[in-house]
Amino acid sequence: MQEVYNEIIKNIEKERVLKDEWMSKHTSFKIGGKADLFIKANSIDEVKFICTIAKQKNIPICLIGNGTNILVSDKGIRGIVLKLNLNEVKVQDEFIYAEAGALLSKVASVACQNSLSGFEKLSGIPGTIGGAIKMNAGAYGQEMKALICETTYLDENLELRTIKNEEHEFSYRKSFFSSKKNYCILVTKLKLEKGVQEDIKKEMHDLLVSRKIKQPLEYANAGSTFKRGENFITAELIDKAGLKGYNIGNAYVSEKHAGFIINKGNATAKDVLELIEKVQQIVYEKFNKKIELEIEFIGER
């Protein structure tokens, strides 16, 4: 890795190329071992440069956004973790152009400032545009799918490509990008509608209050651990199975919201994985339902 590091710092300041960086600093779960190299890219050219070197040296690359939907291995991540420092959000008429590293809260706030409606329900999701497109993030009946016109990304050959809404293959917490490892989402164009600023502001505020009441935001977590079932609400089954408060080490099923696993201190990824397995097993035994993971495990097994 030293050779790769030496190559990369020829073009990127050392302050943005971190060796042996703890991933627990970059995930909302506050869990995760060290990444060999953790790099923040400030431009598309830098992304291309880093990916080219990784390709030449046969080093894996792992993209992350705000780290709010991932569980990183205690053994860390071999190779390069790449985070996009591209956060610009621009408005033109009822369209918003958002770079992949922009937080959804920033997009929502720009939309509100411009009296554009449609993004309110997504405003409390703590991820970036890149992460939200990849998993078709959604809340309160609204999904990214409904708002996206087109997205520009880098493919595996580092070619810039743009796809229209229907080419995203959006479905529940999935998109075209779900199966394309290392396609790097760069920017997206969203279509919103003219609205009344006061109403937009109020809806965003009310939904944030509701999140604070219903979700265990006082603890580190990665949102809903499991996907919603096709004909059942996963959190309800976990609750009915008597699993609220169940723990392995410092990983707990939240007492406040059974769909969340929380880190009450120094939980490890191993604790969380064991707890996930236990919850899946007990729910299956009691209700004959398989519950699928929503969070993504990243790193060395």
Active site residues: 173, 224, 294
Burial group, residue 158, by CB count within 10 angstroms (0-12, 13-18, 19+)? middle
Cα 47 from chain centroid? 19
Of the candidates 65, 161, 164, 45, the one whose C-alpha atom is nearest the C-alpha of residue 106 is: 65
Query: Is the Cβ of residue 52 or residue 281 nearer to ligand FAD in the bound state?
Result: 52
Contact present, 168 and 130 (Cβ < 8 Å): no
What is the distance between the alpha carbons of residues 96 and 192, in angstroms, rounded to a whole number? 8
The three-state secondary structure class of 20 is strand
Query: Is the Cβ of residue 222 or residue 267 nearer to ligand FAD in the bound state?
Result: 222
Tokens 């790769």 identify what position?
Answer: 4
Token representation of residue 164: 């229209």
Query: Is the Cβ of residue 38 or residue 177 nearer to ligand FAD in the bound state?
Result: 177
What is the distance between the alpha carbons of residues 120 and 117, in angstroms, rounded to a whole number? 7
Query: Is the Cβ of residue 227 or residue 270 nearer to ligand FAD in the bound state?
Result: 227
What is the distance between the alpha carbons of residues 167 and 149, in angstroms, rounded to a whole number? 10
- Compute the least distance from the CB of residue 285 to ligand FAD, in Å: 28
- Compute the least distance from the CB of residue 153 to ligand FAD, in Å: 7
State the first-to-last Cα distance of the chain, in angstroms, to the nearest integer. Answer: 20
- Compute the least distance from the CB of residue 140 to ligand FAD, in Å: 8
- Compute the least distance from the CB of residue 137 to ligand FAD, in Å: 3
Of the candidates 126, 136, 299, the one whose C-alpha atom is nearest the C-alpha of residue 223 is: 126
- Compute the least distance from the CB of residue 81 to ligand FAD, in Å: 9
Cα 199 from chain centroid? 28
Query: Is the Cβ of residue 44 or residue 248 nearer to ligand FAD in the bound state?
Result: 44
What is the distance between the alpha carbons of residues 291 and 227, in angstroms, rounded to a whole number? 7
One-letter amino acid for residue 160 of the chain? L
Binding site for ligand FAD (CB under 6 A): 28, 63-70, 84, 100, 125-128, 130-132, 134-135, 137-139, 177, 183-185, 215, 217, 221-223, 296
Query: Is the Cβ of residue 14 or residue 90 nearer to ligand FAD in the bound state?
Result: 90
Q: What is the CA radius of gyration of the chain?
A: 20
Q: Which residues fall within 8 angstroms of residue 209, CB to CB, at 6 or more apart?
A: none
- Compute the least distance from the CB of residue 288 to ligand FAD, in Å: 26
